[in-house]
Amino acid sequence: MSFSTRIGRRLKLQDLHVLIAVVQAGSMGKAARQLNTSQPNVSKSIADLERALGVSLLDRHHEGVEPTEYGRALLDGGVAVFDELRQTVKKIEFLADPAAGEVRIGSITPLAASFVSAVVDRLSRRYPRITFDLITGHTGALHRELEARNVDLLVVRKFGLPTDQKRDFEFIFDDSFVVVAGMQNPWARKRSVRLTELVNEPWVMLPSETAAGSVAREVFRISKLDLPRATVVTGSSEVRFSLLATGRFMTILSDSALKFPDRRRELKILPITLPAPSIPNGVVTLKGRTLSPAVQLFIEYAREVAKSLAKHPR
């Protein structure tokens, strides 16, 4: 039996939507309440899908339901179908009103607070009705959000980036790492500083699982120095900058973190060349996924902001 006669005429998007709701809820009763319908209607939608496909989609047990192998395969395709429909609707809305749209971004905190914020600022000035949903987290969690299509794109470092056939990585700019102190720190007035002189100073370190935390360990290892005892360990950019501004602490930061916004002027990059390679930063998207015009605009503006980084070295 052909797709047209067996599937195309019998497989309904509404039934697929019901299946997704049932699996997410864990039971037909909970899904019915979430969908504001009756449990018999939910059961009928699942039964119609199973008849159309000729396979069982759910295993029923006393605790609820869970998808079979066939059900998981259909769910994977179903999520993609609804995402493509969503992006198509967004494209139609944008064509009707080119100044509006939505961009959902995932990024690590240092890039979100610097580069991504600069892109959002520039794009929102030109298109004030575009809205932005920005989430931050560790790289692994962000990639799961992308694969689940909860975000449109990621702005992350390629450092530790998973390699597979599902994602595209577009290089945007290189990031180097520098030693930073507050302008009131005595070391900020030195014209020449050696890393070995700073080992016993109060350091603010990033968690070891972060890219900058790994870079710090590598810098001191290559320099044949013990990693300094961290006075403070934090993943919060605001905490790090507040401590640096006191004039007592120092840390290792990415160069781009000091270019946006201008209030970073109260900080000073110490004259030390670190033995650490630059790390590429870029935009990650799912292969073959349709991007809305607003998302494409964000990527275009990201390229432009990256050019300004290259024109204004530290």
pLDDT at 314: 54
CA–CA separation, 312 vs 314, rounded Å? 6
Give me the domains of the chain, ranges plus CATH numbers: 3-81 (1.10.10.10), 97-174+279-311 (3.40.190.10), 177-269 (3.40.190.290)
Question: For position 116, what pLDDT does the model report?
Answer: 95
Sequential pLDDT tens for the chain (314 residues): 444 455 555 677 788 888 888 888 888 888 888 888 888 888 888 888 888 888 888 888 877 888 888 888 888 877 777 777 777 877 777 766 767 788 999 998 889 988 999 999 999 999 998 999 999 988 889 999 998 889 999 999 886 555 577 899 999 998 888 999 999 999 999 999 999 999 999 999 988 777 778 888 889 999 999 989 899 999 888 898 899 999 999 999 888 888 776 556 788 999 998 887 788 999 999 998 888 888 999 999 999 999 877 665 55
**Euclidean distance between CA atoms 285 and 237, whole angstroms:** 26
Tokens matching residue 129: 């009705």
pTM: 0.68
For every residue of the chain, DSSP letters joined together read: --HIIIIITT--HHHHHHHHHHHHHSSHHHHHHHHTS-HHHHHHHHHHHHHHHTS--EEEETTEEEE-HHHHHHHHHHHHHHHHHHHHHHHHHHHH-TTEEEEEEEE-HHHIIIIIHHHHHHHHHH-TEEEEEEEE--HHHHHHHHHTTSSSEEEEESTT----SSEEEEEEEEE-EEEEEETTSGGGG-S---GGGGTTS-EEE--TTSHHHHHHHHHHHHTT-PPPPEEEE---HHHHHHHHHTTS-EEEEEGGGGTSSGGGGGEEE-S---S---EEEEEEEETTPPPPHHHHHHHHHHHHHHHHHHHS--
- Tell me the β-bridge partners of 65: 60
List C-alpha distances in Å: 162 to 141, 177, 197, 263.
12, 22, 37, 34
Q: How far apart are CA 169 and CA 163, in angstroms?
A: 10
Separation of alpha carbons 59 and 7, rounded Å: 22
All residues at 6 or more sequence positions from 120 whose CB lies less than 8 Å from its CB, including other chains? 132, 134
Name every residue whose Cβ is closer than 8 Å to that of residue 105 and which is 6 or more positions away in sequence: 112, 116, 132, 133, 134, 135, 151, 152, 153, 154, 155, 298
